[in-house]
Amino acid sequence: MKNRFTLLLPILALTFFMNTSNLTAQKDASVEIMQANEKFMNLFNAGDIDEFVSVYTEDARLLPPNGQIVTGKENLKNFWNGMMEAGIKPVLKTVSAHRYGKTVIEEGNVAIHAGDQVVDNVKYIVIWKKINGDWKMYQDIWNSNNPLPN
Amino acid sequence: MKNRFTLLLPILALTFFMNTSNLTAQKDASVEIMQANEKFMNLFNAGDIDEFVSVYTEDARLLPPNGQIVTGKENLKNFWNGMMEAGIKPVLKTVSAHRYGKTVIEEGNVAIHAGDQVVDNVKYIVIWKKINGDWKMYQDIWNSNNPLPN
């Protein structure tokens, strides 16, 4: 028995160490999150609000500037439908995306186009969750880089 | 040898499974983050800007509304010094704080007091990092619940 555990211990220790490292170490998720953002932009520009809100989790929390928190699919639809009807086109760019298991913390920015003009520049943090193999937005907060209008 | 590995395999599998669960499962960190926020408020109200900015990591990224990203200790000091001199008093409240190893994702809100009045209500997401045993803010983004001023 003693010999068996002598053999076992370093392997268990190594396994434990490797998994502890995994637990605390973040992994880069830029590529998969950039793909998810590509989907976000394509669905937004396609203008089908029902398809579009599928980029969010069922329990998603939208934290828009100068407004209350938006939760629930219908409220998300109403919020984004207003943006679609305003005719804007968001161009998202990931600054960093760090993965912890089934969660990703992304920082990025958005150039908001209206016709030929960029009408706003926005920075954001999005918390993504992997749900049934797809990355979906769970928490979404942003604000403008532009000064307050006078 | 065959017997030894027969004994080994289920133990390794169990260790692996346990660590995989840890990796994906989030842990509640509300209590420790509320304590860190208590420190944030106390240092802010004490008004010593050098002490106060120690609540941030060295590489912290402040994402304020209607402004550019703020990085670097001196820029953080300038930003918060302006807020301190404005005589406001932030009252922070944690909504959720989920821990992934040495990282916490917190959502919360702030009632910004000036004298007897609440002059703004703000919601935020803060990404905390555990540095040498202390929780410090790495990414800090917020925006107002109040409508844009006319």
A64 CB neighbours in chain B (<8 A) are 143
Which pLDDT belongs to residue B21? 47
Q: Above 90 in pLDDT, residue A150?
A: no
Which pLDDT belongs to residue A14? 63
State how far residue A120 is from chain B, nearest Cα, in angstroms: 10
Question: Is B90 among the domain residues?
Answer: yes
ipTM: 0.85
Interface-testing mutation among A3, A9, A24, A70, with chain B (most B C-beta atoms within 10 A): A24
Buried b (16+ CB within 10 A) or exposed e, A70-82: beeeeebbeebee
Question: Is B124 among the domain residues?
Answer: yes
Is pLDDT larger for residue A134 or for residue A15?
A: A134
What pLDDT digit, counting tens, does each position of A13-56 carry?
666 555 544 445 679 999 999 999 999 999 999 999 999 999 99
A65 CB neighbours in chain B (<8 A) are 65, 143-144
The number of C-beta contacts closer than 8 angstroms across A and B is 117
- A11 and B8 within 8 Å at the Cβ level: the answer is yes
Three-class SS state of A135? strand
Which pLDDT belongs to residue A26? 79
Question: Is B17 among the domain residues?
Answer: no
Residue-averaged pLDDT of chain A:
90
What pLDDT digit, counting tens, does each position of A106-130 carry?
999 999 999 999 999 999 999 999 9
State how far residue B115 is from chain A, nearest Cα, in angstroms: 23
Which pLDDT belongs to residue B13? 64
Which pLDDT belongs to residue B12? 62
Which pLDDT belongs to residue B7? 64
Question: Is A94 among the domain residues?
Answer: yes
State how far residue A1 is from chain B, nearest Cα, in angstroms: 10
Strands B56-63 and B134-144: parallel
Question: Is A60 among the domain residues?
Answer: yes
The arithmetic mean of pLDDT across residues A3-14, rounded, is: 65
- B127 and A139 within 8 Å at the Cβ level: the answer is no
Question: Is B39 among the domain residues?
Answer: yes
CATH of residue A42: 3.10.450.50
State how far residue A121 is from chain B, nearest Cα, in angstroms: 10
Residue A133 DSSP code = T
Question: Is B44 among the domain residues?
Answer: yes
Question: Is B140 among the domain residues?
Answer: yes
B66 CB neighbours in chain A (<8 A) are 143-148
Which pLDDT belongs to residue B9? 67
Query: Could you tell me which residues of chain A have a Cβ less than 8 Å from any Cβ in chain B?
Result: 4, 7-8, 11-12, 15-16, 19-20, 22-26, 61, 63-69, 98, 100-103, 105, 107, 123-125, 127, 139, 141-149
| DSSP-assigned beta bridge partners for residue A82 | none
Out of B4, B24, B149, name the one closest to residue A102 (CB). Answer: B24
| C-alpha span between B139 and B108 (Å, rounded) | 14
Per-residue pLDDT of chain B (150 residues; tens, 9 = 90+): 556 666 666 666 666 555 544 445 689 999 999 999 999 999 999 999 999 999 999 999 999 999 999 999 999 999 999 989 989 999 999 999 999 999 999 999 999 999 999 999 999 999 999 999 999 999 999 999 999 876
Question: Residue A58 sits in which domain range?
Answer: 27-144
State how far residue A113 is from chain B, nearest Cα, in angstroms: 18
- B105 and A105 within 8 Å at the Cβ level: the answer is yes
Question: For chain B, how many structural domains are there in total?
Answer: 1
Which pLDDT belongs to residue A69? 98
Residues contacting A33, CB < 8 A, separation 6+: A94, A97, A104, A106, A128, A135
Which pLDDT belongs to residue A21? 47
